[in-house]
Chain A
Amino acid sequence: MNVTRRNILKHLGTGGALAALVVSGLMRPIAAFAGQWSKPSFESKDMAAAMKNLDAAAAVDSKDIVLTAPAIAENGAVVPVSVVSNIPNTTRISILVEKNPFPLAGSFEMTEGALPDVGVRLKFSQTSNVRAVVFAGGKAYMTQKEVKVTAGGCGG
């Protein structure tokens, strides 16, 4: 049993119908957040652990994800990153910065009407790959690119 699922089960008492649906239907929160901020995913300290906790360890490379980020960022504290998924039935986009203390920066779940097109400004502690993970139809897809950072955005 993975940690994410255990948390979901633990919160089932208070989590309401959505959590119940996830547990009974899919047994894993790949299609829905169940309204809960996933501590194990966000506190993973390396890319491999973060991907595993996201249920994205088997993510395959996809050319249908458009990841936009500067090749060189002068200020690591404010790096604009945007992700557009052209994969049908995209339900969630996660963005990870490989060399940050905690790689997972954020997950965006689209429900009715929201397009799989998100932009956010992130901190980069150092030069790093940024990875976009897209969840669509129960599968995970990814793409990544390197951002060179000349001044870090964490610590100090």
Chain B
Amino acid sequence: MASYPIRIRALLKGDVTSITAIVSHPMETGLRKDDAGKTIPPQYIQVLTVELNGKKVMESHLNTAVSTNPVFNFKIKGAKLGDKIVVNWVDNTGEKGSGETTVIPG
């Protein structure tokens, strides 16, 4: 089974926490062909959510146009140092991934 490492950083500055999430994912469009001329089947993240201390604060619905190994930048209010940020995703093939971090000073 393929593995999809995810890196997340959450930096608190003032009362705003900037979240950067980088997911290792092919984001295959289904339009490309391999060297043998065979179409590569699509595989792309459809839903990505961000949770703060277990509560969903952001839900993204995505298409094939999102880049390979996508990078997301979000901003949230109301998080404190040490709070837990979780990012979950699921792709069109049913693969899932998740990662977490704690809020640190920015």
Contacts and interface: CB of A to CB of B under 8 A. Distances in A.
Interface of A: 33, 35, 37-38, 42, 77-80, 82, 97, 100-102, 104-115, 117-123, 153-156
- Category for how many chain B residues contact A: 20 to 34
Given A123-B29, A153-B67, A109 B74 contact: no
B66 interface: yes
B62 interface: yes
Interface stretch (B5-13, B51-59, B95-103): B51-59
A120 B73 contact: yes
Contacts, number: 110
B66 A123 contact: yes
A37 B61 contact: yes
A105 B64 CA distance: 7
B71 A114 contact: no
Contacts of B31: 101, 154-155
Residue among B16, B52, B63, B64 facing the most chain A CB atoms (10 A cut-off): B63
A46 to B, nearest CB: 14
Nearest to B62: A106
What 9 A-B pairs come out closest when comparing CB atoms?
A119-B73, A105-B65, A121-B67, A115-B75, A113-B78, A114-B57, A106-B62, A117-B75, A114-B58
